[in-house]
Amino acid sequence: MQKTVCELFAGVGGFRLGLEKSSPEWNTVWFSQWEPNRTKQWAHDCYVAHWGDINKYTGVDISLVPKNSIPNHNLLVGGFPCQDYSVARPLPGSSGLEGKKGVLWWQIRDILVAKESPFVLLENVDRLLKSPASQRGRDFGVMLACLAVLGYSVEWRVINAAEYGAGQRRRRTFIFAYKNDTCYGRQLIDSPQQIIAETGFFATTFPVQCKEIFKQITLDYQDIPGLSSVFEFDFKNAGYMKDGVVSTTRVTPIQEEAIPLRALLEQDVTEKYYLGNKLEKWKFLKGPKKINRTSKDGHEYIFSEGGIAFPDSIDLPARTMLTSESSVNRSTHIIQDPQTKKLRFITPIEAERIQGFDDNWTNTGMPEKFRYFVMGNALVVPMVTRMARKLEEIIDNE
């Protein structure tokens, strides 16, 4: 089996870079990246600046791409948003599942139907497992059910990159799905408990301890609209699904030493990244507060929030970087520069290092605020490189 890849929601190529850092054998045959409501497509341009374009459709809304025009591939990768995956029962006479327009899970599902990708590696926020708040676990349940219908088994894990040696406390759900008729699928005959704790894709890549009880549930995956309307389940941070039987438990990572932010900082950072006379404004933003507010309907209430670390500790890994990193927002990192002892923002290169990208990866012509934005969207590249090693073993064995 060839190590051919299709990268969806490619951003600036975190998955591709992570795979290629592991082996030159990975061959990305197609990618898709389109930022909604923007004329200038900075992420797509950055991706193309590194790897060139492939053929048509790489820079358009994935929902407009005819799925059978996508080249065949053996690994489908992508980081996609947590949205509402619910489905309504189709009208009598209509066939097939109609997901809501604009919900990107349905694009992934349609590609899997058209291309039958044997292996799939997806990334999403940790909240995916609990969404929506009003019907916890429904969305992930719908996703697992769709994958079961298409003949996939699934392993998942919530991974905090800092617990496995990275420089950022970024917690994300990774989902590995594989067709039941692959060698990997046929050979993995261990119990769900063993797969989750010892022998599966994530357990061997990101080792864990497992002391909690396992929970099991069977998904009625033949009736996804019915499942969507009633399903609720407390998915834990690790799990496995085969033929609709879901096993899950809370695992504890066997932690590795993280990289402190201090080790990722640049030297001799120019004046423009310093806070200057904005200190009071930032103190207020980051500090605890109680403010009287009036809602639209005239109701008065007290808005309150606790304080957060100010400045950010550089002896810890960075906090989760968001797309708003460059804006006036309390989640923006502010550090005390160890050379000058003055407060400053992180630089675009530091943002890249926090995500494990090469220095100046996004220095491809986009304005600085977009360099932070695309980094906030990206993933921690070394996490993918680790998974790549295991994926190589699996694909070589096919």
Residues in touch with ligand SAM (CB under 6 A): 9-15, 32-36, 43, 61-63, 79, 104, 377-379
As measured in angstroms, the least distance from the Cβ of 123 to ligand SAM is: 7
Q: Report the interhelical angle of 42-51 vs 368-377 (nearest 10°).
A: 80
Catalytic residue among 6, 46, 82, 146: 82
Between 233 and 370, whose beta carbon lies closer to ligand SAM?
A: 370
- Cβ neighbours of 291 (radius 10 Å): 9
As measured in angstroms, the least distance from the Cβ of 63 to ligand SAM is: 6
As measured in angstroms, the least distance from the Cβ of 41 to ligand SAM is: 8
As measured in angstroms, the least distance from the Cβ of 107 to ligand SAM is: 7
Tokens (6 digits) for 156: 């998942």
For residue 361, the SS3 value is coil
For residue 82, indicate whether it is catalytic: yes
Between 74 and 124, whose beta carbon lies closer to ligand SAM?
A: 124
Between 35 and 337, whose beta carbon lies closer to ligand SAM?
A: 35
DSSP 85-123: --BPPPPTT--S--BPTT-THHHHHHHHHHH--SEEEEE
Query: Which residue's C-beta sits nearest to ligand SAM?
Result: 11
As measured in angstroms, the least distance from the Cβ of 106 to ligand SAM is: 11
First to last CA, the chain: 6
H helix and E strand count, the chain: 12, 15
Between 11 and 137, whose beta carbon lies closer to ligand SAM?
A: 11
* CA proximity to 395, closest of 52, 76, 46: 76
CB 48 within 8 A of CB 31: no
Q: Are strands 343-345 and 27-31 parallel, antiparallel or unpaired?
A: unpaired
Between 107 and 182, whose beta carbon lies closer to ligand SAM?
A: 107
Q: Which residues are catalytic?
A: 82
